[in-house]
Structure 1
């Protein structure tokens, strides 16, 4: 796997310059390029910094957040894959943690095309880019956004919850392949409603 160059700060002078593939860029809350919707929606819970690898200009695109509970009924799986193919063919920018089994397969579907994709892992920045992501990264179709410090090397339930809040706060709308009643995605959808985001779900 290709190594990632250590991060540097993205100053106001080059705030709209895409990060090079494999080169990490750090945005702090005071930087001009730091997404204002994170502060507006998350307030003091907004991440103090973001580490970006890939095409940073993807953050300026209209984005659909994809969520799917880890426990997903079989009836929701194929429709989710079909939706991912429609997004891919239509060029829609999709942002997600791509962590649950259904989300992971949707990522594979998306990466078969050239539509923009933003991946937000529930951990600190990767030292190396996974090989399956490299082609999209080199083509400028992929951005990896980490909202956690380098010391967070393992995904936990709490990091996943916080990551999903960041994904939702960065998005313009959200699409839930499945929401488990009373689960984290159920609570998250309530927050999105308060923010005025359009929400679609296959099971509500």
Structure 2
């Protein structure tokens, strides 16, 4: 698979990056797969590194519901909960965009990801050239801001109070994008920030509502 790229002045470069990241928008995006998947309205998926046990099963059910509803999902899929959700999403037919916190040159996609790329429903994206060979906390933050800017709305399984994911959620809300989370006491801070509660039963309805807005 050959790595492609989009420069900031390319007509196919996502306008949402210029709008939301402005001068911090990457000068170039590198990708493996069909770049036009970036044109789909997508739901960003995020979760803190540590996720309370009472949220995990609900998150699995919501990931399955997203898959069955055919909702395009974008994320870094780096934290344990995000990776578990990715495994579930890759079993579906909906578009999935995976944003890396390092260069793509030395990446070895899993069989499921490679098959998805070949089928035209999975896209690997990175704002980084070949130099960063390992993901760092700083690069992960930049990657997450990229995901937030590309997504039309976001679903946050859990954000630890005062943590980086919570700060990202504040940024998503500041961008004017809808933010969803699981309605439970552990997510009270997110709900207080303005996140909308979502359940397995209404995730498809909420997505259709936001997509048509």
Q: Same fold (TM over 0.5)?
A: yes
Q: 1:146 — aligned with what?
A: 126
Q: 1:183 — aligned with what?
A: 163
Any idea what the Cα deviations from partners look like across 1:2-50, whole Å, max 9, x if unmatched?
xxxxxxxxxxxxxxxxxxxx22111111111110110110111111110
Q: Distance in 2 between matches of 1:147 and 1:77?
A: 30
2:15 paired with 1:36: yes
- Which of 127, 131, 139 does residue 111 from structure 2 map onto? 131
Q: 1:163 — aligned with what?
A: 143
Q: CA deviation at 1:113?
A: 1.3
| TM-score when normalising by structure 1 | 0.87
2:2 paired with 1:23: yes
Q: 1:81 — aligned with what?
A: 60
Bigger fraction of residues in strand: 1
- Which of 31, 42, 47 does residue 68 from structure 1 map onto? 47
| TM-score when normalising by structure 2 | 0.83
Q: CA deviation at 1:105?
A: 0.7
- SS of the residue 1:92 aligns to: coil
Single out whichever of 70-79 and 126-135 deviates more from structure 2.
Answer: 126-135
2:5 paired with 1:56: no
Cα-Cα RMSD: 1.0
- Which of 69, 80, 98 does residue 77 from structure 2 map onto? 98
Q: 1:193 — aligned with what?
A: 173
Uncovered stretches (5+) of structure 1, i.e. residues with no partner: 1-21
